[in-house]
Amino acid sequence: MVLPVAAIGDNTIDLYLGRDSYSYVGGNAVNVAVQFTRLGRAVRYFGAVGPDAAGRQIRTALTERGIDTDGLVELPGRTSTSRIRVDDAGVRHFESEDFGVCDGYLPDAPALERAAGCAAAHIGLMPGAEPVRRLLADRGVLVSQDCGVTIRPDGYRWMGIAFCSQEAAGIPAERIAADAIDGGAGLAVVTRGAQGSLAFDGNTTWRTAAVPVEVADTTGAGDAYAAAFLDARLAGADVDQAMRMAAVHAAEACTHFGAWPQEPGPVPA
């Protein structure tokens, strides 16, 4: 029996404003969940939306792709949104993000029990995730997290794989990876945009080049990389093989607008 995988944490509606105005469903945990389905994995998603049109848009996008949304809860407040300004030259500028109900979300005991029945659990943006990682790791689940720039130096405990971004952190990839290992991660994987990616486990360093493509939009490329890397590791690939497979999947994500192929939605008035 092949166990499902879990994606836990953030979702958002990316609002593109300016010369072009449209929206896409996104957020690290949602993007990883969708990419898992594109790789043939059964997925359980755990997160929170508000009782609004944006929340319904996210729920519909997940269910249409066959993702188990029993763990998607509705909380009082606003669904997360990100504002991106598109200028006359077509260049996108990140303006702001309202995390909404995602900011206070943690999975409850029944949700954690369902996540513990998965082969792997990827955690996106979710403040206070350490107890969740510990419980799942203690149950034998391969736990990964998107680290962004918010992880404390000692905050990588119970993280089997730490996914980091050199572009987000703005410091050398080798230092990011070493900090993650020193902080308790089992393996650190650092994406470096067009420079490829680096992985480090405290003893061995692996490097893989990016796959050249004609780029339409880099949104969600790191999330596609994480999903493909985890998928490959669950299938028995070594770190080098998983990095090369992940690089191919991340490159494909750059060839279309949005983090994964989807029809653009409306921008709320």
β-strands 120-123, 5-8 pairing? parallel
Using CA atoms, how far apart are residues 184 and 175, in angstroms rounded to an integer? 14
pTM recorded for the entire structure = 0.94
Tell me the per-residue pLDDT of 212-253, one tens digit each, with 9 for 90 and over. 998 888 888 999 999 999 999 999 999 999 999 999 999 999
Closest to 188 (Cα-Cα) out of 128, 222, 144, 132: 144
**DSSP conformation class of 265:** B
Provide the CATH topology of domain 1-118: UDP-N-acetylmuramoyl-L-alanine:D-glutamate ligase (3.40.1190)
The predicted structure's pLDDT at residue 40: 97
Please state the separation of Cα 195 from the chain's center in Å.
20
Q: Are 229 and 242 in contact (CB under 8 A)?
A: yes
Q: What pLDDT shows up at residue 158?
A: 95
19 or 126: which carries more pLDDT confidence?
Answer: 126
The helix (run of H) or strand (run of E) holding residue 60 is helix 53-64
Predicted confidence at residue 168, as pLDDT, reads 74
Express each pLDDT in 89-143 by its tens digit.
444 567 888 999 999 899 999 999 999 999 999 999 898 899 999 999 999 999 9
Rounded distance between C-alpha atoms, residue 158 and residue 149, angstroms: 18
For the chain, the domains span: 1-118, 147-260
Q: Is 75 helix (H, G, I), strand (E, B) or coil?
A: coil
* Residue of higher predicted confidence among 127 and 37: 37
User: CA-CA distance, 116 to 38, in Å (whole number)?
Assistant: 22
Asked whether 258 and 264 are in contact (CB, 8 A), the reply is yes
Tell me the per-residue pLDDT of 72-82, one tens digit each, with 9 for 90 and over: 999 999 999 98
The superfamily (CATH) of domain 147-260 is Ribokinase (3.40.1190.20)
pLDDT for res 219:
85
CA distance 58 to 210: 30
For 39-71, write each residue's pLDDT tens digit.
999 999 999 999 999 999 999 999 999 999 999
Q: Quickly state the pLDDT bin for 172 (edges 50, 70, 90).
A: very high
147-260 matches 1-118 in CATH topology: yes
Does the pLDDT of residue 196 top 70, yes or no?
Answer: yes
